[in-house]
């Protein structure tokens, strides 16, 4: 299993999140989110792949391996096709191979 965290602005700490909130972005503009992945499974994860529920969100970077209790990076970018009043909230799913030691 993988948990997703984001950095708490101004505090330098990480907070677990359930959904990814890009906020409001003007039409034609883009916004990146840097997130942190934590491996909470009992094994090493390899061949990690991520899928986003929103088609306009691109995966810029994703760690492909996570050690036991290890951390990895996930960077997403949303290119907003039109201005939304409420902004964008999305989620991600993960696939990979867990190697138990």
The dihedral formed by the CA atoms of 42, 2, 50 and 59, expressed in degrees to the nearest 10: -130
Task: Give me the domains of the chain, ranges plus CATH numbers.
Answer: 2-91 (2.60.40)
d(CA 30, CA 25): 7
Pick the closest to residue 64 from 15, 2, 5 (CA basis).
Answer: 2
The one-digit pLDDT tens for each residue of the chain (101 residues) are 899 999 987 788 899 999 999 888 888 889 999 999 999 999 999 999 999 988 889 999 999 999 999 999 999 999 887 766 777 888 999 999 999 97
pTM of the model: 0.86
């Amino acid at each position: 299993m993988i948990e997703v965290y984001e950095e708490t602005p101004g505090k330098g700490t990480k907070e677990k999140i359930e959904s990814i909130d890009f906020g409001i972005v003007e039409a034609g503009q883009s916004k990146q989110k840097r997130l942190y992945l934590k491996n909470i499974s009992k094994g090493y994860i390899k061949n990690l792949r991520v899928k986003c529920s929103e088609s306009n969100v691109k995966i810029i970077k994703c760690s492909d391996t996570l050690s036991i209790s290890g951390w990895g990076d996930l960077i997403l970018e949303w290119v907003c096709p039109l201005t939304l009043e409420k902004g964008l909230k999305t989620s991600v799913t993960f696939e990979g191979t867990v190697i138990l030691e």
